Chains A and B, each alone.
Chain A
Amino acid sequence: MRKIGSGLRRKIGLAASAVCVVSVSWLRMPVQTVCASEEPVILRVCNWEEYIDLGEWDDEEMITLDDGTVIFGEKPLYEEFEDWYRETYGREVRVEYSCFGTNEDLYNQLNLGDTYDLVCPSEYMIMKLMAEDRLLPYSDSFYMESDANNYYINNVSPYIRKTLETNEINGESWSKYAAGYMWGITGVLYNPELVTEDEAATWGIFGNPKFHRQVTLKDNVRDSYFAALGILKADALTDEAFVRSADYRERLADMMNDVNPETVAQAQALLDDLMDNLYSLETDSGKADMITGKIVANYQWSGDAVYAMDQADADGFTLKFAVPRESTNLWFDGWVMLKSGIDGSARKQHAAEAFVNFLSRTDNAVRNMYYIGYTSSIAGNDRDDTIYEYLNWCYGAGEEDGDIMEYPVGYFFSGDNNDRDYVLAASSSQIGRQLYSQYPPQEVMDRTAVMRYFDADANKAINQMWINVRCFDIHDVPMGIRIVLLAALLWIIWIFYQKSALRTK
């Protein structure tokens, strides 16, 4: 996920996140000791801030789905996991839960010697950790569908599963090391009163002079570089023949991961120009600035877009989300086990895999989605359609709601978008709105590209490119002013020198 998670229950999350830094379970005695000689396993989990349901829901927050399933968050999920593990496997586990702020922070923490067993970075950081041989592959038993407690493999969306399986690094597919948690796409959040959908559905909006100083881009190199590539290659990306070509997805992924020195230089020049058209770069303030009307469009992650649209709805006006026609960035966060933390302990690995399975139980996935606001990688299965029921609970509409459309989400739930079981009856006003952002339609998913981790040289090049864009170029100062300033500086130093010379006399 992105730097700052936003949740429907964020206000509660803020208060509770103070607790999240230190594991509460340290303070509690185990309720019962199954095997007196066995010390509890300690599982060190590090996750994004506000990225897990912390429980303590109010009574009116209880969700009752159409099929009668009741969802209610009582305790933080990582605490409930301890109870579940004891009941299911008859063994004790203690979770030490902590949080990180950005992927880079997590990576630096790991390098500084912090040890964790299970962490939840984004796809490119997973690739980096994989390439550095720091991850432990999940055991074969984790993937056994016959075991009913293997919630992850039984419930994960076929779409996410396929994405993880088909993306490889050094000949190994991601699915061996990573279990999907949350996912989303990027796009443009816009104010439909001032921006048309056509204007918003392109990365070119950030350079559009019509919105001079009224658009924001993200304050990180990967998102901004993606947008820059989308603008640079707009013609090629939207070419009919290209879009229809048989190997479209592969070529699209290659184009959106182009780090040729030439392309990087072009991107730098482009971003330099864009900076003169932007309101600012932001990480978190864009949502509020859209709501207060300071800006009319901003680069946004789908989950945060949902949050902003909800907030705007509460304030009585409308924001919409558009996915650029060139391409969009499919991102996800996944649970990975670290070799340094697990350190060959089979019990620890078992607990870590069980933790992932516990979070993948459909009711827990719903709790997380409700709390975090992002879309879970969990879809359920033929026997358990809690997730789909939750989707229906959120967005389903009846005759009385006016214009109804059929909204197929089969690609995510069963792998077949024509599957009649997964066609949602939703209000047609949901196009470009929350449902569209959380579960984008198939045609949008067709133009997604995963942004990979770049090798050390390319990574250095794009980071340096970004620093160059952000820095003040001394060449922007006219030569005359530079000479005057330098002379003034020398003059001051001369005065000081003379004064001190006088003193020593």
Chain B
Amino acid sequence: MNRLHFQRSQLCIPYGLFLVCFVFAPLVVIIYYAFTDGEGRLTLANLTSFFSSPNTIGTLAYSLGIAVATTCCCLLLAYPIAYILARSRFKHKAVILMVFVMPMWINFTLRITALKEILTVIEGNLAYHPFLNTLIGMTYDFLPFMILPIYTTLEKLDNSLLEAAADLGADTVRTFLKVTFPLSVPGIISGIVMVFLPSMTNYVVLDMLYNSTYIMGSLIGAYFSAYDWHNGSMIALILLGIILVFTMFTNRYADEDAGSSRGGVLGS
């Protein structure tokens, strides 16, 4: 009997099927609903109503606000930690890393519930600072996703580059700004992608921390439970568009930076 033999393209079939069934087909359905009205007629009303209502635009702004703030907080907290960890001479770095990543192993709902109680003790009444609480909750939730990629890039950083910089007279600050930081940009970018996008739609954190304001995710849910699949699909599609534009920008930036840094190190 012949040995099983696959061509490379055949190996793609399972994933191709998955893609068609669970990504492509639903997308077609979403697009159909987004551009039709209750009677099945083609319409752009769902699109225009999104951009003409102060409430939906406000929700978009609020979601973006939360996402930007969360990403900034995560970055500001994660970079120093990742830097210290990666640069430290401590033998068991992995242990310290684990301490930071360990929260990820505990169920997310449980962590937010605990956070709710802690914040209640500190603030007394959570209802006065809904935005701040959400920000803390989101940062708590997504911090490991920022630490890991930055740590990985910094860890791989070639020590000889730093020595070369020192030999050529750069002080620590200058070395960091000219060598370490530019080389860690790909890690920062993937950290941002991993934090920014989910924090725009993760409404469970808001619900659990008593922030009753809708963000994009909850707005889609609200339209669907009001049987308005058309507006709901349109908002999902707009969100998809935002994500697409965002990843295009970050990809381009990451590529470009990788290219220029290679040029900087190896170029003549």
Contact = CB atoms under 8 A, between A and B. Distances in A.
Interface string A254-287: 0000000000000000000001001111100100
Nearest to B61: A474
Interface in B123-151: 125-128
B32 interface: no
B227 interface: yes
B55 interface: yes
Interface in B223-244: 223-228
A267 to B, nearest CB: 16
Contacts of B120: 294
A69 to B, nearest CB: 42
A213 B61 contact: no
Contacts of A170: none
A280 B210 contact: yes
Interface residues of B, number: 32
Given A471-B55, A471-B213, A280 B127 contact: yes
Nearest to B222: A467
A500 B252 CA distance: 8
A466 B54 contact: no
Contacts of A210: none
B87 to A, nearest CB: 29
Contacts of B256: 499-500, 503
Contacts, number: 88
Q: Which of A102, A108, A280 has the most CB of B within 10 A?
A: A280
Contact of A473 (B55, B212, B222, B249): B55
Given A104-B225, A470-B213, A496 B58 contact: no
A470 B218 CA distance: 10
A460 B226 CA distance: 7
Interface string B42-67: 00000000000011111101100000
Contacts of A108: 224-225, 227
Contacts of A470: 212-214, 218, 222
B57 A279 contact: no
B135 to A, nearest CB: 15
Top-7 shortest CB links A-B: A280-B210, A471-B55, A463-B226, A474-B58, A472-B62, A213-B127, A472-B58
Interface of B: 54-59, 61-62, 120, 125-128, 208, 210-214, 218-219, 222-228, 249, 252-253, 256
Given A294-B120, A472-B58, 6 more contacts: A108-B225, A108-B227, A285-B208, A460-B226, A474-B58, A477-B58
Interface of A: 102, 104-105, 107-108, 213-214, 219, 221, 275, 278-282, 285, 294, 459-460, 463-464, 466-468, 470-477, 496, 499-500, 503
18 contacts: A213-B128, A219-B212, A221-B226, A280-B126, A280-B210, A280-B212, A294-B120, A466-B222, A467-B222, A470-B213, A471-B56, A471-B58, A471-B59, A471-B219, A472-B59, A473-B55, A474-B57, A499-B253
